[in-house]
Amino acid sequence: MKPAPFAYTKARSVEHAVELAGRDGEARILAGGQSLIATLNMRLSRPTLLVDINGLDGLDGLALKDGAVEIGALVRHAQAGRSDIIAKNAPLIAKAIPHIGHPAIRNRGTIGGSIAFADPAAELPACLVALGGEVVIAGGRGERTVKADDFFTGLFETELGSDDVLKAIRVPAANAATRIGFAELARRHGDYALVGLAAAARAEGDGLADIRLAYFGVGATPVRARKAEAELARGALDDAVAALADDLDPPDDVQETGAVKRHLAGVLLRRVAKQLMEGRQ
């Protein structure tokens, strides 16, 4: 299990990383390496160039800005997990982080890497979608932002082009009305979940509004359960669970069948809905 030969360059700046990535069509950005290095070693991926962005200025910030939490691409999972800013302003992410891999993985793995890799069974892409966040991208034609709902385009595919570097993610800061819920079912702690659900909503009167249910492990990308969201907004939990039959079509995988996953998605919806409601005081 040795990787195929590749070249390695340590980028001097984000602009330099963009330039290097653009010059070589088969370049990959190296951040925490927790997914990339494994795929290289198994020769499932064979880039010709690794552009190492570790240590670049301006990518490891974590700040509250203009009503949003901005998390730099190089912020490690462990760092985010310890952050007061995240605990107070992005509690969904704080709740999700202990479920990501194991401590060694969380020490190295980065927020940006997880979003850019876009594993459909990973926690953070679903959190980003549930929160209605956005992705800040530096590219050959300058900087741009892409909404989470538009960012994940297919299996391990995103809006990132070959000369793009993910700089940061932004999620709206929580306020008194914010409600969040998170649950996943993994056979062993730290595994990718069979099914997971990240959810956010706004408390409104006795109910919930702006409900966003982002499932992971059920398709090629994080999947919004939009019909279930609408039912839940009516306060109809049973109907919301039933609506998952339309919202989700999880494929069979080596661990479980799609039918089992769909059943588990319903169980998670009940558990997460309870969390969303319990947050109300």
What residues line the site for another protein (CB under 8 A)? 1-5, 42-43, 185, 187-192, 194, 254-257, 259-260, 263-264, 267
Distance CA 3, CA 163 (A): 23
Q: Which is nearer to another protein, 3 or 91 (CB)?
A: 3
**Maximum Cα–Cα distance for the chain, whole Å?**
60
Min dist CB 38 to another protein, Å, is 9
Q: Which is nearer to another protein, 195 or 223 (CB)?
A: 195
Min dist CB 229 to another protein, Å, is 22
Nearest to 132 by CA among 221, 65, 228, 213: 213
Residue 118 three-state SS: coil
Nearest to 177 by CA among 208, 152, 135, 216: 208
Min dist CB 232 to another protein, Å, is 18
Min dist CB 171 to another protein, Å, is 28
Q: Which is nearer to another protein, 58 or 190 (CB)?
A: 190
Q: Which is nearer to another protein, 226 or 263 (CB)?
A: 263
Q: Which is nearer to another protein, 107 or 255 (CB)?
A: 255
Q: Which is nearer to another protein, 151 or 182 (CB)?
A: 182
User: How many other β-carbons are positioned within 10 Å of the β-carbon of residue 176?
Assistant: 7
User: How many other β-carbons are positioned within 10 Å of the β-carbon of residue 131?
Assistant: 27
Min dist CB 16 to another protein, Å, is 28
Q: Are 99 and 184 in contact (CB under 8 A)?
A: yes
Q: Are 258 and 217 in contact (CB under 8 A)?
A: no
Supply 65's token pair: 């800005």
Q: How far is CA 121 from CA 44, 200, 215, 234, in A?
A: 18, 18, 9, 29
**H or E segment and range at residue 202:** strand 195-204
Min dist CB 10 to another protein, Å, is 21
**H or E segment and range at residue 121:** none
Distance CA 262, CA 279 (A): 26
Q: Which is nearer to another protein, 133 or 217 (CB)?
A: 217
Min dist CB 187 to another protein, Å, is 6
